[in-house]
Amino acid sequence: MPKKIRLLLLQDNKYHALLIKRELADKLPQCIVATFQSAEFARDELRRNVYNIALIDYNPSWGEGLDYIKRLHREMPTLKIILLASNDTNHLSENALESGATDFVLKEDDFQKGLACLIEKLISPVAHKIKFKTARKKSDSKEEKEIIELTVSTLAHEINNPLMTILGETELLLHNGYRLAPEIDRKIRVIEESAQRIRSALASLSGLTEPSLKETPTGTFIDLKKS
């Protein structure tokens, strides 16, 4: 019989909470889910009882922001924390991992379908042996480096043209005197910020000389900070 997985879900969107619970019940029936809508009540519960995983939907209205994650990680260093968010503005994913989150999931279409697989990886014996924030390896294979460089240059070429179009159009809408509804203005700024982040990542990739790899719960990636 599979070992029970105790998971705390902090989610103030009842519909998203229902989607997640249904998916986990289907894919991971051994998962016992406790749902909370209050960050304060969720933290009190985590202090009282032992959980394997905390699945937290990021909400800036908490007031604490990522300090909430830092505090949880400091108090419960063995707790696996997955942060959910509607967008990745202001390098939220990167800052979340640095604050102590184990992984970051964007709430895109059908986002809940990948959670069961991710959770299963996190609680597997192999996952416990990997230190996700520090486990990195250098790529020593000349052929591997050449493949990475070719892939990067191809991606940069294919992505850069449509990316420049997106940035050009968002700049035109935001900075040429158009009167936009506040909600539309906010959404366009999110698009612009995300596009700028893609451009920054492409620039970092294009400058790779010694690719450094890092292990994460979802696979092996190039560590842009270390490369």
pLDDT in tens, 16-67: 899 899 988 888 888 899 999 988 899 899 988 888 899 998 877 666 678 8
* Span 170-180, average pLDDT: 79
Residue-level pLDDT at 176: 73
* Span 176-199, average pLDDT: 83
Q: What is the C-alpha separation between 212 and 227, in angstroms, rounded?
A: 5
C-alpha angle 62/68/70, rounded to 5°? 160
Residue-level pLDDT at 210: 63
CATH 3.40.50.2300 fits 5-129, yes or no: yes
Q: Are the beta carbons of 222 and 212 closer than 8 angstroms? A: yes
Q: Which of 16-30, 113-127, 201-215 has the lowest mean pLDDT?
A: 201-215
Lateral strand order in the sheet of 212-216: 136-138, 212-216, 219-222
How far is C-alpha 186 from the chain's CA centre? 21
Residue-level pLDDT at 138: 44
Residue-level pLDDT at 207: 62
How much is the pTM? 0.54
DSSP β-bridge partners for residue 214? 136, 221
The more confidently predicted of residues 5 and 224 is 5
What residues does each domain of the chain span?
5-129, 137-222
φ, ψ of residue 39 to 5 degrees: the values are -65, -35
Q: What is the C-alpha separation between 212 and 199, in angstroms, rounded?
A: 20
DSSP β-bridge partners for residue 83? 56, 104
Residue-level pLDDT at 179: 80
Tokens representing 137 are 């390896």
DSSP β-bridge partners for residue 221? 214
